[in-house]
Amino acid sequence: MPLVRVLHALLVVAAATAPFAHAASVNSASHAASAAQHDVLVAAPPVGARPAIYSSGYLPAILDQAERMATGMTAVNATVAGPAAPTIPDDSGSCIAPLSAFTSVFDANEDHFPMIAGAAGEQGMCTDARLATLLGHIAHETARLTVFQQPADGGAGAIHMIPANWPYAFAGLKLPFSATDHAANLAMMLDPKIMYRMAAWWFAKGAAEIMGRRCTGMATWADQLDPAADLTTGANRAVLDQTNSCLFGLGFDAGANQRYNYIQTALRAIQAGGGVKGG
């Protein structure tokens, strides 16, 4: 048995922390704009847990790549018969999604994928449509997981959250916020163990807390999508427009089409990969 399989089978994972970005109310610049078949598994932290407990212990998706290299298989369109995923208790908030869902919209930072999945599990976004929505918006905001700061408005993290909203996000995840040390706050906003949790928190609770009642239930709106239809037109687009108004804001978003195409791409990859499990 290859050593990487032994490590992969024995690795125990725990979940992480993650902050936000761009929170509605400020216009963002539209970012410029694969698919190995494997599952990514991460267990989200228990509700109310302190993030420091989860400073390490993720299941890097890069192990899949290492295994492919060890067996001489190519990284693209390769199907690896890997070992069964570790057993996670039903109440752990684990989220299992096809690796192709992530590689379909992200170009870099493959080791971040389990943290995104864990954040989705923690905040109730571990369904096909909800996870696709989260991935699509993150892909747009971060230029496919390559840009995590926006100098124009000071936004930072997975959805380029503006500084005015950081105190709410920190409080929402029970993280220490400094009223005087912006650099320390920024470092946490850019920590991949925190930024994705903040992004998912925005969908689940943050938007409603900061932007008001009209954004209540934002994380669940993806349930209204018709997954068999085009997401960029008709009733599906109306659902995505409503969601985007609680992320980008009420103004005209020149990047809306890119957002929605990313969401659709991620959803198709999830469907082709057998769907999301857990949550």
Residue 252 belongs to a domain: yes
Parent domain of 178:
3-273
Residue 278 belongs to a domain: no
Residue 15 belongs to a domain: yes
Half-sphere exposure (CA, 13 Å, Cβ side) for 80? 31
CB atoms within 10 A of CB 10: 9
Q: What is the pTM of this model?
A: 0.70
Residue 279 belongs to a domain: no
Residue 138 belongs to a domain: yes
Per-residue pLDDT of the chain (279 residues; tens, 9 = 90+): 443 333 333 333 333 333 334 444 433 344 443 333 344 444 343 444 333 222 222 233 333 333 333 434 333 333 334 443 322 223 345 799 999 999 999 999 999 999 999 999 999 999 999 999 999 999 999 999 999 999 999 999 999 999 999 999 999 999 999 999 999 999 999 999 999 999 999 999 999 999 999 999 999 999 999 999 999 999 999 999 999 999 998 888 999 999 999 999 999 999 999 999 986
Total domains in the fold of the chain: 1
Spatial distance between the Cα atoms of 24 and 240, rounded to a whole number of angstroms: 14
Residue 170 belongs to a domain: yes
Residue 212 belongs to a domain: yes
Residue 93 belongs to a domain: yes
